[in-house]
Amino acid sequence: MGVAMEIRPTYDVRLAARLRARRERDHTDKAFYDSAAWRKLRAKVLEEFHGECQDCLAKSPAKYSPAVHVHHEAHVDTLPGWALSEWYVDRSGNVARNLVPLCHDCHDARHGRVRYRPGTSSDVAPLTVERW
C-alpha cells in the first residue's frame, strides 16, 4: 500500500545507533517505549485514528475494537531508524504507513503470538487448568 507524499521520510541513522546501543546494553527496548517522544507520537496516532483498531475495521463485517497498541510496520528491533516516524520507505521504495493502531488481539496476531480464548474452535488448550 503506497502513499503519494511530497516529503519522503528519511531513516534516522543517529536514532538507530542510539536504540541499538541501548538494546545491546539493556537487552530490551523498554526505555524507548517509556520515552516522552514515543508516548507523544503514540497518542497522536491513536487520536488520528479515533482510538480504533485498524485490523478490526478492515475485517468483513467490520467491527469496532478500541486500539490499545500502536504497531510498528518497520519493527523497532530490525529497523530502529524508523521508530519515531509515522511513515517509512519499504523494501520496494514505496512510502507506507509505519504506525498502525491495533487492539491487543490484532497486535498479538501481527507478531504471531497466540492466546488461549475459551469457546473458539481454533483454541490451543491451556498448559494447566489452574487460573491465577
Return the domain boundaries, the chain.
Answer: 13-110
Q: Which residue has the higher pLDDT, 18 or 127?
A: 18
Mean pLDDT of 25-46: 97
Sign of CA dihedral 5, 29, 65, 49: negative
Three-class secondary structure of residue 54 per DSSP: helix
Q: By the 8 A CB rule, do 17 and 81 touch?
A: no
Which element (helix H / strand E) includes 32?
A: helix 30-34
Q: Which pLDDT score, from 0 to 100, does residue 121 have?
A: 45
CA distance 108 to 55: 12
106: buried, middle or exposed (CB in 10 Å: 19+, 13-18, 0-12)? buried
Grid coordinates representing 42?
503514540
CA distance 15 to 128: 43
CA 48 to chain CA centroid, Å, is: 15
Which residues have C-beta within 8 Å of that of residue 98, sequence separation ≥ 6? 72, 73, 74, 82, 85, 86, 87, 88
Which element (helix H / strand E) includes 69?
A: strand 69-72
Query: pLDDT tens digit string along 77-91?
Result: 999 999 999 999 999
**CB count, 10 Å around CB of 100?**
20
Query: pLDDT tens digit string along 68-122?
Result: 999 999 999 999 999 999 999 999 999 999 999 999 999 999 999 876 555 554 4
Q: What is the pTM of this model?
A: 0.79
